[in-house]
Structure 1
Amino acid sequence: MGRYVRAEGLDLWTEQVGTGPDVLLVGGLGDTVESWQFQLVGLADRYRLTTFDNRGAGRTAMPEGPVSVEAMADDAAALLRALDIPSAHVAGFSGGSLICQELTLRHPQLVRSLVLQSTWSVPDAYLRRWGSFVRRLVDTVPDERTFLESFFLDIYTARAHNDGTVDRFIEDALAFPHKQTPEDLKRFLDAVLQHDTTDRLPDIAVPTLVLAGGRDSTSRPELCRAVADAIPGARFAVMEEEAHQPFQEIPDEWNARVDAFWRETEPRTA
């Protein structure tokens, strides 16, 4: 069961399961703790996993003031400190991967290792235009179902659309009672698409694994590779047949990859 954790003046809706080395999971645009359901189930026998609703998503309120990746990274740091977690293996996807980058740069002592799925350091022209498209989609679609059906075309593989996986995700999203407001979604989107860590990535000194989906049309492999190339010693792998969120489409394979990485890095970072 989830609960609110008071972290530096913000009540973050938090889920924590399992036993073992600490792992922090950070979601992307509008995603809540439920986006990590396959990891919370599949890895809880080996790790203590913590995840939370970002500010303005799910059950965590959007505070007054500007929205920035830096502020959301500080939220994550405050959560770890509030839970008395001295350091954790940190993993995030999409916009959440930017929060993880910034968390590692701003609070390096809290991060033992880093997994970045579908990431970038600075958006290129294509990604910026994709963000503008999503903004227009929010403003013009007639209902939530139409938005999800359209938005998910760039998030999941054709395989997942054709085998009913995406339909199940849509039904779960429609039934979820804690809706993100369109304005909060756009504020988060703007924050991650304005962020740039390019010049600071060489300062990341923890073991890092960067994963890309070969069929991801948004944070494409070349954007992910640029992040891996900038972080000293980072590993890079492309899941050739996958799109933006393989941790949901093929969770067993994704979990096995990151588990192997964490097992290898654990003795060096303990």
Structure 2
Amino acid sequence: MISSDTGTLPGGHPYVSVGSGDRALVVMPGFGDAMFSGSYPPFSGWTLAPYFARYLDEYTVYVLSRPRGLPAGYDEDDAIASHTAAFEAIAGSSNGVDVIGISMGGLIGQALARREPELVDRLVLANTACRLDGDARSTVRRLERFARERDWASIRSELAVAMFSDGRAMAYPLTLQTAGRFVQPRPAVPADVRRSLEFILEFDGCDRLAAIDQPTLVFAGERDPYFTADLARETADGLSNGELEIVSGAKHGAFHERKLTFDSRVRSFLERTAPKALEA
């Protein structure tokens, strides 16, 4: 029977889980995680079950939010300290942990795989790379300004344009800047938004990719303006055991907008790279 749970893991990480599989699949969300309260309502995992249906035969899926109230100067050391505590709790109740790191979550995921390799069996880097593209830095600094002004609608509008290659790139910003301003969720800790953006700007793991030994899939959008196709190639090439999938025409939301493609590619990757203990 599929189960669902919510709560807070060690390190202060809110989470929602769904499934009853022996293995854990930890989904580490992108920057947008800082834009809502981080408190998951009871049984919210049931609403996620259809979204993660392709994985529930084998996994218990955890969506692992970052702590609310990030410290000033939040950096890789801070992220590793809290995520290690959360992952140790998850690993203690599962038969291995695989990770899907999305955007900012992928930056932290690759650092965790490198620095705490016993906690991560396999890694999927979705719409992320070893660093932010140089041409995107001015855009992220503009998002920082919006964060200081607490202009959440403008941040979400820019993200929608960057993420979607279909009509949502036009429809979502229009809605967000009009009636949507009154109903969209507010960050629990506004400073977390700016500190998350600062983390993205400062992170650069390109010269440390070879230290990631785990099988790793880099899944990218051809038109992603933040983590470009070229950066995705550089990331996959620098990994000790990396694979690359670039989705034609897709942008920063390729993992979601092209979800059938994403799920098929991820399942194939996980099945082909199954740990020996699972193959026996």
Instruction: Report if aligned partners of 1:69, 1:195 keep a CA contact under 8 Å in 2.
Output: yes
1:54 correspondence with 2:71: no
Question: What number of residue pairs does the alignment pair up?
Answer: 260
Equivalent residue for 1:58? none
Please give the TM-score of this superposition, normalised by the length of structure 2: 0.80
1:4 correspondence with 2:7: yes
For residues 231-254 of structure 1, the C-alpha deviation after alignment (integer angstroms, 9 at most, x for no partner) is: 023111100121112222122221
Alpha-carbon distance, 1:45 to partner: 3.1
CA distance in 2, matches of 1:45, 1:178: 35
After TM superposition, the structure 1 = structure 2 runs for residues 18-37 of structure 1, keeping only pairs within 5 Å, are 18-20=19-21, 21-31=23-33, 37=48
Please give the TM-score of this superposition, normalised by the length of structure 1: 0.83
* Residue of 182, 186, 198 corresponding to 1:190: 198
Percent identity of paired positions between Structure 1 and Structure 2: 23
Alpha-carbon distance, 1:41 to partner: 4.2
CA distance in 1, matches of 2:120, 2:104: 18
Equivalent residue for 1:150? 158
* CA separation of 1:115 and 1:14: change in aligned 2, threshold 3 A: same
After TM superposition, the structure 1 = structure 2 runs for residues 159-198 of structure 1, keeping only pairs within 5 Å, are 159-161=167-169, 175=183, 177=185, 179-198=187-206
CA distance in 2, matches of 1:147, 1:194: 19
Alpha-carbon distance, 1:174 to partner: 6.7
Task: For 2:235, give the aligned amino acid.
Answer: V
Task: For 1:237, give the aligned amino acid.
Answer: E
CA RMSD across the alignment: 3.0
CA distance in 1, matches of 2:220, 2:277: 24
The DSSP-based 3-state class of the residue aligned with 2:251 is coil
Runs of 4+ in 1 over 6 A off after TM superposition: 165-174
CA distance in 2, matches of 1:241, 1:65: 37
Task: For 2:64, give the aligned amino acid.
Answer: F
Moved more, 11-20 or 150-159: 150-159
* CA separation of 1:124 and 1:148: change in aligned 2, threshold 3 A: closer
Alpha-carbon distance, 1:206 to partner: 0.9
For residues 170-212 of structure 1, the C-alpha deviation after alignment (integer angstroms, 9 at most, x for no partner) is: 9999756562444211101101210121221101111111011
Alpha-carbon distance, 1:39 to partner: 4.1
For residues 73-113 of structure 1, the C-alpha deviation after alignment (integer angstroms, 9 at most, x for no partner) is: 33222112123146311111111111000010111011111
Equivalent residue for 1:13? 14
The DSSP-based 3-state class of the residue aligned with 2:201 is helix
* CA separation of 1:228 and 1:246: change in aligned 2, threshold 3 A: same
Instruction: Report if aligned partners of 1:115, 1:209 keep a CA contact under 8 Å in 2.
Output: yes
